[in-house]
Amino acid sequence: MELVKRARAHKARLDLSAAQSALLDGQAHAARALWNLLHEFFTFRQGRFAALKDCDTAIRQARHEIDWMGQLPAQAAQAVLKIYRQAWANYFNPDHPAARPTFKSRARSRLAVDVPQARDLHVARLNRRWGAVNLPKIGRVRFRWTKHLPGVGKDGPARRITGARLVKEADGWYIVFRTETPVSSPAPHSGPTVGIDRGIAVALALSDGSTREHGPWLTGGERERLRRLENKSARQRRFRTPGRPISGRLARTYDQIARLRATAKRRALDWQHQTAAELASTFGVIAVEDLHIRNMIASAKGTVEQPGRNVAQKSGLNRAISGQAWGRTVTLLEYKSADRGGRVVKVPAPGTSQTCHQCGHQEPANRASQAAFACRNTACGWTGNADHNAAINIRNAAGTAVSGRGDLGATRSVKRQPPRAA
């Protein structure tokens, strides 16, 4: 049986001291500043792009001439250059919808440091709850052990950690291990086909009549605390002088809000992982709508000449759609289904919620309400749950999929070339 390499990532929380956290902050800001210097050097050369060799030479020279650049490990600096060049390759690739690389803001950028080579990590398990890893210019650091890592312990050389990335979240620093494991190609999944309708009131409605729902991501007390903190931040912003840095008190309030929202995100991601794994194990083919979510959550504000209507209601709908993270649900379903020999197909979205699955009659008036469906065709007259009706239509349309992902070993060939130097 053919073996294929399966690449995965595992995220674990680091146990850092205040001094170690400050050092990582400095490295991350140095990496961000290096990106900005690269962008200026790469693009502002009399209209010509700089060559890769020139960028590498400029980095080496800057590490000798700029003191704070020395905070960043040499491998991490080279990783910044590699990611920057790949960003331009993605931008010029017509098959890759990537935005043009630009400068990174100190206030809005996510702090991160790459450890591209795994040979110096020396990952070891200390006990049931903790592991240890070497970080460049930081030293030996403990991290939360929640899952076995390939290549640690008695694993063979084929199962290994290929690198890592350090990222800062609202509640501290995390390490994301890049792992590689050889696995045999799974046998085709023999489970049934199911259609899934993603919604807000009902998170996932299945064509077999069942649903997958969740409660609020925050408890009542946490939601009340978040509301109070948001009101507090609004009061503090009223006393802020425009153009001046925010005060320490406002920064602390922002940090408290961010930690609560990060808690909600972790709980949502945990539910999505568990639900996607259960669905991928049960069904062989999973059909979902090919939704253009970015267009769905576009603002309805309009312009001065043509102001939008129902702007507040549309804003609330946009927040609700973003909170459900529909795109992430499909991403998780895709790779979990591929691991089990199944596949996910995307079907055209128009008409699925207004079409009767019994007779095929399509009419906006078929939606008697948000949750009820009543076919206006007098010869049919079927009534039932609107979400389940849409899920059945999605399942029936699985044969006309606009795209699909399945085989674990299958890869999509995409030619990505960085821009040439003039």
Is 252 a member of any domain? no
On whether residue 239 sits in a domain, the answer given is: no
The answer to whether 207 and 385 are in contact (CB under 8 A) is: no
DSSP letter at 203 equals S
Cα distance between the two ends of the chain: 48
Give the DSSP letter string of 272-336: HHHHHHHHHHH-SEEEEE---HHHHT----B-SSSB-SSHHHHHHHHHHHHHHTHHHHHHHHHHH
Q: Decide the pairing of beta strands 285-289 and 193-198.
A: parallel
Q: What is the overall mean pLDDT for the chain?
A: 84
Q: Is there a single domain that holds both residue 172 and residue 205?
A: no
Question: Is residue 223 situated within a structural domain?
Answer: no
Task: Say if residue 211's pLDDT is above 50.
Answer: yes
* 320: in domain: yes
Residues 296 and 368 placed together within one structural domain of the fold: yes
**Element counts in the chain: helices (H) and strands (E):** 9, 15
The angle at the Cα of 135, spanning 130 to 137, to the nearest 5 degrees, equals 140
Last residue of a domain, one of 109, 143, 175: 109
Question: What's the confidence (pLDDT) of residue 400?
Answer: 62
Scanning the structure block, which residue is given the tokens 């979240």?
169
- Residue 313, token pair as written in the block: 């209601």
Sign of the CA dihedral running 183, 167, 85, 334:
positive
pLDDT score for 18 = 93
Q: What is the pLDDT of residue 403?
A: 58
Q: Judge if 287 and 385 occupy the same domain.
A: yes
Lowest mean pLDDT segment, chosen from 22-31, 150-159, 182-191:
150-159
Average pLDDT over residues 350-357: 84
Name every residue whose Cβ is closer than 8 Å to that of residue 395 and which is 6 or more positions away in sequence: 193, 194, 195, 207, 287
What is the share, in percent, of the chain residues with pLDDT greater than 90?
37
Which domain does 27 fall in, by range?
Answer: 20-109
Q: How many domains is the chain partitioned into structurally?
A: 3
Residues 273 and 369 in one domain: yes
Q: What is the pLDDT of residue 356?
A: 86
pLDDT at 46: 54
CB 77 within 8 A of CB 59: yes
Residues annotated as part of the active site: 197, 289, 387
Strands (E), 118-252: 124-125, 130-135, 139-144, 160-169, 172-184, 193-198, 204-206, 211-212
Please give the average per-residue pLDDT across 200-210, as a whole number: 88
414 confidence band (pLDDT: 50, 70, 90): very low
pLDDT at 274 over 90: yes
Same domain, 280 and 316: yes
For 316-321, what is the mean pLDDT?
78
Contact 130, 142 (CB under 8 A): yes
* For residues 182-205, average pLDDT: 88
Mind listing the pLDDT tens digit for each residue in 45-73?
655 677 778 788 888 888 888 888 888 89
Tell me the pLDDT band of 408, cut-offs 50, 70 and 90: very low
pTM, 2 dp: 0.82
Q: Do 66 and 82 share a domain, yes or no?
A: yes
What confidence tens digit (pLDDT) does each residue in 92-141 have? 888 877 888 899 988 888 999 999 888 889 999 999 999 999 999 999 99
Position 198 in a domain: yes
CA torsion sign for 321, 322, 327, 329 is: negative
pLDDT of residue 45: 63
